[in-house]
């Protein structure tokens, strides 16, 4: 029997423009299951890219994925961008304890 481990993925807000992205403070996921990390950016302008970074404890932030208006997949990570570009969702398909980090949505 496989034991399931709960992991906590901590999300924080990062801002690099006049746009105002917002995210939940924290989310929990079950090891091996997908996690959907939302970001709202209601004041995004037409040519601003949406970037996602993560920072594992005691390490520098690392780039994960970015997009302008189309959905993007890089490796196993996906970025879903709504048609109006007012929100996006980072999808981690099978989280592990190694995914416990601070995740930044930046414009």
- Domain of 79 in residue numbering reads as 8-106
Q: What are the DSSP E strand ranges found in the chain?
A: 6-11, 26-30, 35-40, 50-55, 62-67, 72-74, 77-81, 87-92, 102-106
Residue 3 lies in a domain: no
Residue 2 lies in a domain: no
Residue 18 lies in a domain: yes
Residue 61 lies in a domain: yes
CATH number, residue 59: 2.60.40.10
Residue 32 lies in a domain: yes
- Write the CB contacts of 83 (distance below 8 Å, at least 6 apart in sequence): none
- 93 HSE (CA, 13 A, CB side): 7
The pLDDT of residue 89: 94
pLDDT in tens, 58-78: 999 999 999 998 899 999 999
The pLDDT of residue 70: 87
pLDDT tier, 41 (very low <50, low <70, confident <90, very high otherwise): confident
Q: Does residue 36 carry a pLDDT above 70?
A: yes
**What is the CA angle 71-59-18, rounded to 5?**
50
pTM exceeds cut of 0.85: no
């Amino acid at each position: 029997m496989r034991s399931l481990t709960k992991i906590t993925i901590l999300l924080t807000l990062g801002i690099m423009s006049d746009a105002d992205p917002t995210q939940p403070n924290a989310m929990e996921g079950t090891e091996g299951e997908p996690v959907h990390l939302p970001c709202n950016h209601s004041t995004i302008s037409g040519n601003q890219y949406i970037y996602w970074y993560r920072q594992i404890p005691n390490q520098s932030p690392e780039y994960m994925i970015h997009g302008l208006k189309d959905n993007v997949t890089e490796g196993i990570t996906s970025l879903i961008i709504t048609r109006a570009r007012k929100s996006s969702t980072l999808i981690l398909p099978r989280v592990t304890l190694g995914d416990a980090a601070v995740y930044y949505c930046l414009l």
